[in-house]
Chain A
Amino acid sequence: MTDEHVYVDGDSARWAFGTGFTDPLHGVDQAVPDGVDAEDLAACCLALGDDALVSAQRLAEWCTRAPELEEELALANIGLDLLGQARLLYARAGRADGTGRGEDAYAYFRDPEDFRNVRLAELPGGDFAFTVVRLLVLSVWRLAVCETLAAAPDPVLAAIAAKSVKELAYHRRYAAEWTVRLGDGTAESASRVRAALDALAPWLDELLTDRAAARLGVDPVAVAARTRLELSHVLADAGLNRPDDVSRLDAPVPSLPGSGRDGEHTPHLAPLLAELQSVARAHPDASW
């Protein structure tokens, strides 16, 4: 293999894969079809896009800190999938909301109150048990939503959802397997899973009553029922099926006021975004 001089000749714009394609939906007919409410479509894309971006950022925080190299690879893989979903959803949102904004305008130049992710996604990373249990909850829920959206009246969103389904099925499997390993493993790991369930419980109601995709054919009640059922199966496999374990996920505490879908966030989102946006905002005229 002789790499010498290969970079000096030829077209510099083609040296790296993807160069020049700033629009991830390049080549796709992006017109919003008749009968689809563009505002509903944009709101749904933004909500699911923000969930994905914020989750990817939390997973990226694990980089070089995972308990084993295989987990390093898997968490990065899942983070990359979600980042990819966010990019496609932002591209769709930019067309549907009529602003023509690109993905980076959504990710880097909105303030926390303009983000529409559920608060569950923005909670600080916690330990590995918290990470896999949150991933389980979010991927079970998101998979149920995307399976329905794969038949959405907007063909672009339907295609994004269909692609996401394959990825989310893997995320769910990974998170479920680890929840079972940790729940069944040692007394310490089981108690960490219980602590994770307790920490997540107050934020579940927001997710399970979410109507972000309701106007695009997703029934929130059916999604919630399926999510609860799947979670209870995983918890049973993990040996966490005592009544007080199951009740941990049955919203035992009253749901918290406010909603991330309305831009009301915990104090944890602002520092997450400050980090994510720091370089882009320090050099607003730069090109990357």
Chain B
Amino acid sequence: MNNPTAAPPRPYDPEAAFENTIARDQRIEPRDWMPDAYRATLVRQIAQHAHSEIIGMQPEGEWITRAPSLRRKAILFAKVQDEAGHGLYLYSAAETLGADRTKMTERLIDGGQKYSSIFNYPTRTFADVGVIGWFVDGAAICNQVPLCRTSYGPYGRAMVRVCKEESFHQRQGYELLLTMMRGTDEQRAMVQDAVDRWWWPSLMMFGPPDDDSPNSARSMAWRIKRHSNDQLRQRFVDMTVPQAEKLGVTLPDPDLRWNEERGHHDFSAPDWDELKRVVSGDGPCNAERIARRRAAHEEGAWVRRAATAHAAKRTARLREGAAA
């Protein structure tokens, strides 16, 4: 019905629509208009997340061929496979923003894009497999559960599935440690040693402290991030302390104690200079991790070329068949 007295419709304002969607806590979808900086921030974050899954296969993957029971071998093999799957979902989410998987892989290999600093530490014993499950997957869960509600739809939906699997991995890691703690003295010492080595790098997984985290405020405003680095780190510590007590290990921080007033544990800051060194490429295994990824990519090039050539030949043959 026409109403000649109504105001003419306002011209569509994509920026206002974007802001409105964010303000109403709804999802931005791939075909929606979005600011260039929002797109670039997401590509950077999702690519970094995908790379972390793929590089993160290496420290634990080294133990699949050596796992000390067939049951542990199956669990670890499946877990590392899950990480490859997470990498695929995440690269796909980044592709909805116009990024290209091959180019992202090349940026990873040439150092243009980062991955989580935690995967630059070595795995020295089989206890490391359990501690990585407990700490690293636990920290990943703290980081990623809020991301299930992140403002970009494909990223949030990928996180729902990833979180379910990470939660499973964390329980498997913890269950390995419980079993080892019920084993020999040597095994208990292996677990404590792994806890000592992985505790501080795990705290660093949440990124630099809030007053030194340049990108955080804007990501929070866009509701890509929903909690600050320090909030998430606190949540991880509060979650982990009772688990450590139950397990019978000591977390290597003499100042770690419950603060009744805050309702949280107080704990020491990790060595932020070490984080900077590892992020900038100077960690114990950075070169080795990238070299492995580069070798797989380069040595696999002939396989990918063959698949592409076969697909083209096949299409041409089908066309010829149809034309005949």
Tell me the interface secondary structure of chain B in the complex.
helix
Distance between A184 CB and nearest chain B CB, rounded to angstroms: 5
Whether A285 contacts B81 by the Cβ 8 Å rule is no
Chain B 262-313 interface residues, beta-carbon cutoff 8 Å to A: 292-293, 295-296, 299-310, 313
Whether B71 contacts A18 by the Cβ 8 Å rule is yes
B184 interface contact, C-beta 8 A:
yes
Sample 9 A-B pairs with CB under 8 A, ordered by A number: A16-B174, A17-B172, A18-B71, A69-B54, A76-B84, A182-B306, A188-B306, A189-B309, A286-B184
How many residues belonging to A are interface residues under a CB distance threshold of 8 Å? 61
With beta carbons under 8 angstroms apart, the residue of A53, A67, A275 that contacts B66 is A275
Indicate the size class of the contact surface on chain B.
35 or more
A174 interface contact, C-beta 8 A:
no
By a CB distance below 8 angstroms, the chain A residues around B302 are: 186, 188-189, 192
Whether A181 contacts B307 by the Cβ 8 Å rule is yes
By a CB distance below 8 angstroms, the chain A residues around B65 are: 57, 60-61, 275-276
By a CB distance below 8 angstroms, the chain A residues around B239 are: 3-5
Chain B 127-168 interface residues, beta-carbon cutoff 8 Å to A: 141, 145, 148, 163, 167-168
Distance between B129 CB and nearest chain A CB, rounded to angstroms: 10
Chain B 62-89 interface residues, beta-carbon cutoff 8 Å to A: 64-75, 77-78, 80-81, 84-85, 87-88
Distance between B197 CB and nearest chain A CB, rounded to angstroms: 18
Distance between A58 CB and nearest chain B CB, rounded to angstroms: 9
Instruction: Given A180-B310, A188-B302, A286-B187, verify A83-B171 contact (CB < 8 Å).
Output: no
Whether A278 contacts B66 by the Cβ 8 Å rule is yes
* Interface hit among B1-9, B18-26, B175-183, B203-211: B175-183
In the assembled complex, the Cα of A81 lies from the Cα of B250 at a distance in Å of: 38
* Interface hit among A101-109, A136-144, A195-203, A246-254: A101-109
B230 interface contact, C-beta 8 A:
no
B57 interface contact, C-beta 8 A:
yes
Interface residues, chain A, with chain B CB atoms under 8 Å away: 1, 3-5, 7-8, 12, 15-19, 22, 53, 57, 60-61, 63-73, 76-77, 79-80, 83-84, 86-87, 90, 103-104, 107-108, 128, 180-182, 184-186, 188-189, 192, 275-276, 278-280, 283, 285-288
Whether B61 contacts A64 by the Cβ 8 Å rule is yes
Chain A minimum-CB-distance residue to B77:
A80
